[in-house]
A and B are shown apart, each in its own frame.
Chain A
Amino acid sequence: MSEVVESGAVAKAKPEKRVKWAEPPQIGFAEALYLPAIVSGIGTTVKRIFGKNETRQYPEVEPEIPPNYRGVHRLNRDDKGRVKCVACYLCQTACPANCITIEAAPAPHDDPNWKDRDKFPASFEIDELRCIYCGMCEQACPVDAIELTSIYDLTGMTREEMIFDKEKLLEVFDKTSEGGKDPVRTKRGTLGPASEILNEQ
């Protein structure tokens, strides 16, 4: 009880100590004349004229895009050149924008190349206009088949050509893996845990 009274008394006695009073700056002779400020302002702008400019001449000089940039998608190929995707629908389920459409088909068992696979995507479409480039498909993929590349300047003349099918997505893989600008998450040839199990079988 006495403590409360005491602290209250302290607060009443010295309210000024807790408050920092800010004084508006005084207008002096130089400020009232305007001229010194104008001259120093011109000095600043003249200094800027001869300073370094920050412009990047874009179409000629391209920006350095970090490898973990989330740009256009690609579908990875495995060692045998097949599409790595196993048509598990995880990316399609994870996609918040519903831009991925997969049609699965049983792997061709008569082909010796496809013996280790159950399913493969008969068609794999990504609507690049609908995509929000969040990268959740990439996170969901158990075999590291879908990845976002650092291609940032995607353009098209029609909506139809912005819907990327399986061939186009594989082309993106060929283009980006040749250029040496692989996404940072996986390395070419190294498969995710699930696909490694498949390989061992």
Chain B
Amino acid sequence: MMTWDTLWPLLVAMGIVLAVVPIAGLYMTFIERKLAAWIQNRVGPNRVGPLGLLQAVADGIKIFLKEQVIPGHVFKPVYIMAPTIGLICAMLSIAVVPFGPSTSEPTPGFRAIIAPGVDIGLLFLLAISGLSAYGIILGGWASNNKYSLYGAIRSCAQFISYEIPLALSVIGVIAAAGSLNIERIVNAQGPGIGSWNVWWQPLAALLFFTSALAETNRLPFDLPECEQELVGGFHTEYSGIKFVLFFLAEYTHVVTISFLTVLLFFGGWHFPGLEGEVGSTWGGYLLRWGVLLAKVAVVIGVIMQLRWTLPRFRFDQLMGVAWQGLIPLGMANLAGLAVVLSLGLSRWWMTGLSLALLVVTGMISAATSNKLVGSRSRRSAPAASWKTTAPAGGTR
């Protein structure tokens, strides 16, 4: 069954992913440092090579040549395995993500996806991204260090909480395309800019982006590795190449969720003016690839921008956002979607419903959070206590 004709597209796609993702990861750190510097009125790395462009290479070389410290108190087999598991899970989830324009049905020859035409694509992706928590949890546990363990526990709670709104938010997308196959989901958004999922499911897009951001353990959801409380979090005891593997897993996640956000909600490689079949002409093919990568770059930019804009959540706030905000919203969104789809109403009802849900949530949240702070009419109570606690003899 497996002949050379079916094997080589697979190997080429795998080669591209395996080569590009680590390099992209290195350069994302560089871009992130530059962006951070610009936001903080600094210049950023500018010494290595022209405009500092070789900084990423220098960082890579440095970290590969670093000493491998394995502390004496760790559980060695799991300690060594954990970063690899994290990276494998991060890389596995890319297998079903088309990184270039693809047709709904797999074609012979080169394809910009490792595993084309997987009919459980999105389900596979959700399952694998859930698995990637193992890397962090095992690493934190095997480090035999309370800070690492705290980081791991937080990460575990975070993954469990944010998996739910993540899954709830993609159901609408699946229902629209009638398939879990990501290529089909993208091609269902083909006809015109109006058919992008984000227009009729803005709330689902927001929920998806937020919970996916939480899955990457980046700010404002980077509690598993928050420096101020947990030293380094789950990677406190890691150094050298093992630390890099954790780091690479994080950036691979960022790449994956950026691709997914674009593919599921922003029309993937479709853009107004680019009509016709995907593989019909070379120019159209490359143009579509450019469109996809540009959209992904914008999403990655937004993720980096958010990192330097938002402060980190407190842990109870993190849980509150998921369980009191995102999950009820996801449920309500799903119920609305079910009504709209089963009654056969126009898709645009869903847009109004999403906005209405957002407004209702805001109103409920505003009403309850003021009640939690306490009653406004405190004027009499502290005055009375001031009288009673005043010293009897006075201090004059």
Contacts and interface: CB of A to CB of B under 8 A. Distances in A.
Query: For chain B, what secondary structure do more than half of its interface residues adopt (helix, strand, loop), or is it mixed?
Result: helix
B379 A53 contact: no
A41 B373 contact: no
Interface in A15-47: 15-16, 19, 21, 23-24, 26-33, 38, 41-42, 44-46
A27 B369 contact: yes
A27 B366 contact: yes
Given A15-B383, A24-B373, A27-B370, A52 B41 contact: yes
A80 interface: no
B73 interface: no
B310 interface: yes
Interface in A38-74: 38, 41-42, 44-46, 48-49, 51-55, 57
Interface string B20-55: 000000000000000101111111000000000000
Contacts of B43: 53, 55, 57
A54 B309 contact: no
Nearest to B358: A33
Interface size class of A (residues with CB under 8 A): 20 to 34
Nearest to A49: B38
Contacts of B386: 15, 19
Contacts, number: 68
A78 to B, nearest CB: 46
B107 interface: no
Contact of A42 (B309, B383, B387): B309
Contacts of A54: 41-42
A31 B366 contact: yes
A189 B40 CA distance: 48
B370 A29 contact: no
Given A16-B383, A29-B363, A33-B361, A48 B370 contact: no
Interface residues of B, number: 30
B365 interface: yes
B309 A45 contact: yes
Contacts of A42: 302, 305-306, 309
A30 B35 CA distance: 28
B110 interface: no
Contacts of A45: 39, 305, 308-309
Given A15-B386, A55-B42, A28 B309 contact: no
A38 B313 CA distance: 13
Contacts of A44: 309
Given A21-B379, A38-B309, A29 B42 contact: no
A48 B41 contact: yes
A119 B173 CA distance: 95
4 shortest A-B CB distances, which residue pairs?
A32-B365, A32-B366, A33-B362, A41-B309
17 contacts: A19-B386, A21-B378, A27-B365, A27-B373, A30-B362, A32-B369, A33-B358, A33-B361, A38-B310, A42-B302, A48-B39, A49-B35, A52-B41, A53-B41, A54-B41, A54-B42, A55-B42
